[in-house]
Structure 1
Amino acid sequence: MTPSYLAFRALSGLPAAAAEPSQLLPARVQMAFTLGFHIVLVPFGVAFTFMMLLAHRRGLRHGDDQALLLARRWSKVAAVLFAVGAVSGTVLTFELGVLWPGLMGRYGAAFGFPFAIEGLFFFLEAIFMAIYIYGWDRLPPWPHFWTGAVVTLASVGGTASVVAANGWMNQPGGIVLRAGRIVDVAPAKVFFNGAFWWETVHMLLAAYIVAGFTVAGVYASGMLKGRRDPYHRLGFLIPFTTAAIAMPLQFVVGDFIAREVFEKEPAKFAALELLPTTGDHVAETLGGILVDGQVRYGIPLPNVGSVLAGFTPSTRIKGTDAIPPAVRPDEGVVNVVHLAFDIMVGTATLLLLLSAWFAWLWWRRRTVPAGRWFLRCATVAGLVALVCLESGWVVTEVGRQPWTVVGLLLTRDAVTTTGDLWPFLGAALAIYAGVAIGAGYALRAMHRRWRAEGDAAVSVPYGPPPAPSPAPSATGGDGA
């Protein structure tokens, strides 16, 4: 093992397990960082373009110039975020081969199939994104609208393809193995694996929630500063309503997923529940950590864990003691997964309450809520949604450990065993920092230009040109 690896584990309090290759830690850190960066961009490719279409449709159906102006500006933001996502996604693709040759070498024939489908959707999305951006003022109104619809549908297909690959890692199927090697693949069963449908719906709803609350927060901030014009009200209403509708649906889907995990991924469920020993009448533990096999500092809710898993207190739940020692998640993994699960549920509950508040205010007044406390909460809702999203991905990815492909491939057997990966990690950090700074600069420049233009003094597509400025009088006076 390299000295840097041993030093890191010593400082972090982790045991220097001799069975782990020295490349495992930097590979996992890099994959966690790049995936965590990229997942933030996914909602804007999937859901932000959908909201853009909602504004576009409203503008065409109702002759709403402000809605068309929103759609046009949002399309430019979507193009910038798409470019950033393309860069970060490309890096992730290379990392799969460079960092995890054990995965690609053994199971690439199955695992690579969903990514091949994702590549087709990516190119379709890129082509029609370019047509949609170029089509403002150049294409007839409705044909132009439908080019944007292709962008949204392609982004949904691409996201579903990546989720299919992730679902296959959790519940592999559709392959025939001989001596540990794939000899036959059923592509449809690989793609539509046991985890595909519920993971896909969960991710798509998360995309609408994150993009909706984040975009609405920008306009809520403007409304707090006194900009209560139709442009800002509409810019708030479209994304916030989208997120508020998706929020209760996400809770229903999440409850279903918890039972699926209980039945098919017992090790992950034991980590979610912070459960070291198998038993019934299991409590739901809020907070807390495992220390030497004992739950410490948590708040137990008696019988709730068993009731949520099987609708009855007598439901028996496997603890980590039911997992064979060789593949049992250690206490560090269990604590991280449990903490992330608590954060995910807690932040989602806050967003659900905010959505209910919005529904109540809308029901009473039939107008965009204008109270300062509501707008303050709406302003930070996007950040809360991002924390919820990242926590959910920690649950999904860390909860699978020590497996890369559950039951087939351990993570320590998937990682590369050559070279020092710490410089590679540093290069990735530098690339992502440059991309983030560049994107932030571009978005900031667009924001300043739009603020200088104003919300009503610019031309909109399919509409009349702005009124010309009054010509000066022949005498140079004011014409009086």
Structure 2
Amino acid sequence: MDEFMAARMQMGVSLGFHIVFACIGMVMPWFMFVAEWKWQRTNNPVYLELAKAWSKGVAIFFAVGAVSGTVLSFELGMLWPTFMKHAGPIFGMPFSWEGTAFFVEAIALGLFLYGWKRLNKKVHLYIGMIVGISGVLSGIFVVSANAWMNAPSGFDWINGQAENIDPVAAMFNKAWFSQAHHMTIAAFSATGFAVAGVHAFLYLRNKLEIHYKAITIALAFASVAAVLQPISGDLAAKNVAKLQPAKLAAFESHFETQEKAPLVIGGIPDVENKDIKYAIKIPGMLSFLAHGDFNAEVKGLEEFPKEEWPPVPITHYSFQLMVALGSFLMLLAVIFWAGTFKWKNWLTKKWWLKLLIIATPLGFVAIEAGWIVTEVGRQPWIIYGIMKTKDSLTPMPGIQYTFYTISAVYLLLTFVVTWLLSRQIKVLHKNYL
């Protein structure tokens, strides 16, 4: 493995772990908020136990997310110093706002965890809401910074230097909104189905009311998010078609520019022969999804120099996987809402609980696939159309060893988090029983 690939792999592993912790940290506070709200509304002690249990999980993921996020911040400077030299003054604003949101979240979470018997009930409840709001804002600010890399703005690039810098324009670049809402909705869908799946597994083992209540709260969020996700994805894809046509072409293994471009489902890209084999093609649908017109022209990869093509196979497979898993979760959401309105007490049926268990990791797999699409699909650019990734690499040797070390640390961290959560579940059962 050469230095360049080791650096990219290290960033990929770090981001892959962090994104799971970050998504859970964004969404779980809303679950604990709703649980406490239901307790105050119904005086059912089960909701109180659930809110307390979830708050401990939030604390664990907050701590882990803070550590993994800090590692990513250092890696940007250590692995890609040329990038940070030019980009830091431009897109630093969303990072500073993310830091502010992080501190607000930390303070509010501390008050929430230690204020159960010390604060007024209503005050305590709305502190939980502040935890949720600041967590979501933190994620949006980070996504805004990433979106700038896909749609750089707020500066003039003159003779290899950034001039006339406007941090506000950079923060609110043309890609920030589409990426932010797509990522936020994905976080709610993935975390909701994961939490519902874990509690479904626990409910099958111990028919406890607390797990049933947890499933209903988690699915309420997840089902709405899963139905909104395709709409959000469509808006995001249209934005990509405008700003990064090469990335869109890689999504679909679309090699030739054509009108009435077909939507590709499945298939194996053949980059050498500029074709895709064994795919299902729906005529005109890609033109419609990209431009709102079945007859619109969609640029193919042939329009771009081959050295500027994204890695087509991995981008295509990741996109197909993301769409397939998102469609499955949307189907589960439709079943949930149909069953809720049509049948009583059906959520405890074994077939449904087993479906939820199967779905537990799928939302996060879809998120990982989506980030591969976003990051790999931007290659070979680290700042799209401005700076190539290879030109930003640090001259420091031995990156392979830091990659191996970081991978081992994150693997250990995963075991620690799993052990802590298992321990909390055992304590919950002991207290509840």
TM-score range, shorter chain: over 0.9
Aligned to 2:27: 47
Structure 2 unmatched ranges of 5 or more: none
Q: What is the aligned counterpart of 1:272 among 241, 251, 254?
A: 251
Aligned to 2:213: 234
Aligned to 1:361: 339
Aligned to 1:328: 309
Aligned to 1:140: 120
Q: Deviations over 1:379-423 (max 9, x none)?
A: 121211111111111111111011111011101111112212001
Contact map agreement 2:154 2:170 (CA 8 A) in 1: yes
Contact map agreement 1:278 1:322 (CA 8 A) in 2: yes
Matched ranges for 1:17-166 at <5 A: 22-166=2-146
Give SS of 2:360's match: helix
Q: Does 2:352 align with 1:371?
A: no
Give SS of 1:369's match: helix
Higher deviation after alignment, 309-318 or 155-164: 309-318
Distance in 1 between residues matched to 2:289 and 2:176, nearest whole Å: 22
Q: What is the aligned counterpart of 2:170 among 167, 184, 190?
A: 190
Q: Does 2:173 align with 1:200?
A: no
Distance in 2 between residues matched to 1:328 and 1:431, nearest whole Å: 33
Quickly say closer, same or farther: Cα 1:310–1:184, change in 2 above 3 A: closer
Higher deviation after alignment, 309-318 or 200-209: 309-318
The structural deviation recorded for 1:272 is: 0.9
The structural deviation recorded for 1:350 is: 0.6
Matched ranges for 1:5-24 at <5 A: 5=1, 22-24=2-4
The structural deviation recorded for 1:24 is: 1.1
Letter in 2 for 1:236: I
Distance in 2 between residues matched to 1:317 and 1:141, nearest whole Å: 56
Contact map agreement 2:81 2:394 (CA 8 A) in 1: yes
Q: Does 2:294 align with 1:313?
A: yes
The structural deviation recorded for 1:302 is: 2.8
Higher deviation after alignment, 425-434 or 71-80: 425-434
Runs of 4 or more consecutive aligned structure 1 residues displaced over 6 Å after TM superposition: none
Contact map agreement 1:233 1:368 (CA 8 A) in 2: no
The structural deviation recorded for 1:108 is: 1.1
Q: Does 2:250 align with 1:256?
A: no
Aligned to 1:466: none
Letter in 2 for 1:353: L
The structural deviation recorded for 1:444 is: 1.4
The structural deviation recorded for 1:356 is: 0.7
Aligned to 2:359: 381
Give SS of 1:194's match: coil
Distance in 2 between residues matched to 1:430 and 1:222, nearest whole Å: 30
The structural deviation recorded for 1:304 is: 2.4
Give SS of 2:144's match: helix
Q: Deviations over 1:337-359 (max 9, x none)?
A: 11111101101111111111111
Work out the percentage of aligned pairs sharing the same amino acid: 35
The structural deviation recorded for 1:30 is: 0.6
Distance in 2 between residues matched to 1:272 and 1:197, nearest whole Å: 20
Q: What is the aligned counterpart of 1:419 among 376, 393, 397?
A: 397
Quickly say closer, same or farther: Cα 1:58–1:412, change in 2 above 3 A: same
Higher deviation after alignment, 380-389 or 97-106: 380-389
Q: Does 2:179 align with 1:214?
A: no
Q: What is the aligned counterpart of 1:299 among 253, 260, 280?
A: 280
Distance in 2 between residues matched to 1:311 and 1:140, nearest whole Å: 52
Higher deviation after alignment, 356-365 or 184-193: 184-193
Q: Which has the larger radius of gyration?
A: 1
Distance in 2 between residues matched to 1:97 and 1:439, nearest whole Å: 27
TM-score (norm 1): 0.87
Contact map agreement 1:115 1:162 (CA 8 A) in 2: yes
Letter in 1 for 2:250: A
Higher deviation after alignment, 378-387 or 281-290: 281-290
Q: Does 2:269 align with 1:290?
A: yes
The structural deviation recorded for 1:185 is: 2.0
Distance in 2 between residues matched to 1:95 and 1:312, nearest whole Å: 43
Letter in 2 for 1:87: V
Contact map agreement 2:193 2:219 (CA 8 A) in 1: yes
Contact map agreement 2:91 2:167 (CA 8 A) in 1: no
Q: What is the aligned counterpart of 1:399 among 361, 373, 377?
A: 377
Quickly say closer, same or farther: Cα 1:36–1:198, change in 2 above 3 A: same
Across the aligned residues of Structure 1 and Structure 2, the Cα RMSD in angstroms comes to 1.5
Letter in 2 for 1:308: L
Q: What is the aligned counterpart of 2:225 among 216, 241, 246?
A: 246
Q: Deviations over 1:285-316 (max 9, x none)?
A: 22223221222232222332223223443211
TM-score (norm 2): 0.96
Give SS of 2:119's match: coil
Contact map agreement 1:212 1:240 (CA 8 A) in 2: yes
The structural deviation recorded for 1:326 is: 4.1
Q: Does 2:313 align with 1:349?
A: no
Aligned to 2:155: 175
Aligned to 1:447: 425
Letter in 1 for 2:96: A
